[in-house]
Amino acid sequence: MSEDNGDEDDDELSDSQFEDNKTKIKNRRPKENAFTQQKLKAYHPILTPKTVIPLLILIAIIFIPIGAGMLYGSNQIQEMIIDYSYCTDYANKDYYTEIPSEFYDFNFKDEINIKPQWKIGINETWSKLYSDEENICHLQFQIPNDIGPHIYLFYRLKDFYANHRRYVKSFSEDQLNGKAASTSDIKDTTGQNCQPLSINSQGKKYYPCGLIANSLFNDTFSILQSINSTTSTTNDDYQMTTNGIAWSTNKNRFKKTKYNIDEIVPPPNWIKQFPNGYNETNLPDISTWFEFQNWMQPAALPLFSKMISRNDNDVLSKGLYQIDAGLHWPVDKFNGRKSIYLTTRSVIGGKNSFLGISWIVGGGICLILSIIFLIVNMLHPRKTGDLTLLSWNKSSAL
């Protein structure tokens, strides 16, 4: 009897524990509301001729004028492009000669009556040090009418693929932020490091390290000089500045380095600018080196421009002008091209005909479709909600 009572007690205990556990089981059933039951209010438009045709016409009315305005603004931009890649091959060392027409392009309100010319000069300082970089390309061109303000001067590169995966990853964000990054930081950081240009054979760190900094565009450009057309002598200069040529947000990214001089060396391709390495007086301050900041933002396409200088206040008067380009950055090794690019701006920014054309084409397609739908609806109208056109009704009628 005692054993039976014990069993009954165990059964009663088990039942009570089961009830307790049952009450502790969490209910995973979601709350019943409009969201979980997918009963939210929704608008299900019915595409009928009365709604589609007016909508297409409205889109055309909006897109075409906006595109025309963009195209007009783009065409108002006045610009000049001179390709000086082959200056050493075609220009004369003794006198100015006309630049072949395939190497320049102009877009001004007035026609130019003096074709651009070039001449090769010698930089005596560089010729003593590096014979392969002794040449200067003197470029003379005409501005047929007053332009600006604003005036922007760029260099333009063609067929330089800065979006190569290994190239675009080869830099140190820590160095750009001014930190004294360790060898491990610039060499072994996953996804972004300076390889294969992180340290030299003596174990010193390159600053700035990486392929992007090493390939910095280093052609030099003189100020924009006004030329007397009768004597071909310099009259006056059009002053331009490098302030404002880089993004204002760069001040948060590019900062003066905290490295000691004895820890770092210039990148290999900078050796001509720093033949004896860095010292207390020549260490570059990248926080104010705006040309470097522009270069450290690689372009996505093989044709791109980088700003050199600008003038936001003064008009560039019509006349003859000259720019001297020091030839240091080679393009023949990769069959590239380099040019100077002088331009103004409009309310839409730089010259961009594609943007306006794309809006006009988009609006034109909508307009054509609306006309086609209107004609079809007039010739072959269809009653909305006609049940006889349902497939099962058609089969039963047969």
Residue 385 has pLDDT above 90, yes or no: no
Residues in the chain: 398
H-helix or E-strand spanning residue 167: helix 165-168
Per mean pLDDT, which range of 9-23, 93-107, 335-349 is the poorest? 9-23
Secondary structure of residue 337 in the 3-state scheme: strand
What tens digit of pLDDT does each residue of 100-125 get? 999 999 999 999 999 999 999 987 76
Burial of 347: CB neighbours in 10 Å, binned 0-12, 13-18, 19+: exposed
Q: Which residue, chain included where needed, has tokens 């305005």?
A: 69
pLDDT tens digit sequence for 131-168 = 667 889 999 999 999 998 899 999 999 999 999 999 99
Q: Over the Cα atoms of the chain, what is R_g?
A: 35
pLDDT reading at 393 higher than 80: no
The mean pLDDT of 250-274, rounded to a whole number, is 92
User: Domain spans of the chain?
Assistant: 78-345
Strand partners, 154: 307, 341
- Cα distance between residue 339 and residue 154, in whole Å: 8
Q: For residue 292, with 0-12 CB atoms within 10 Å meaning exposed, 13-18 middle and 19 or more buried, which class applies?
A: buried
Which residue in 280, 264, 273 sits closest to 200, CA to CA? 264
pLDDT number for residue 261:
92
Question: In angstroms, what CA-CA distances link 123 with 135, 137, 332?
Answer: 6, 10, 21
- Of residues 394 and 172, more confidence is placed in 172
Q: pLDDT above 90 covers what percent of the chain?
A: 65
pLDDT score for 176: 94
Give 127's pLDDT tier (boundaries 50, 70, 90): low
pLDDT (0 to 100) of residue 131: 62
Is residue 19 pLDDT above 80, yes or no?
A: no
* Per-residue pLDDT at 231 exceeds 60: no
Using CA atoms, how far residue 198 sits from 27, 67, 167, 272, in Å, is 59, 48, 13, 19
The closest alpha carbon to 270, from 221, 173, 197, belongs to 197
Q: E strands, 50-100, where?
A: 79-83, 97-98
49-75 and 353-379 are packed helices; what angle lies between their axes, rounded to 10 degrees? 160
pLDDT tens digit sequence for 32-52: 888 888 888 888 888 888 899
Q: For residue 173, how many other CB atoms are within 10 A of its CB?
A: 13
- pLDDT band for 1, please (50, 70, 90 cuts): very low
Query: What does the CA dihedral 356, 357, 360, 362 come to, rounded to 10 degrees?
Result: -110
pLDDT over threshold 60, residue 208: yes
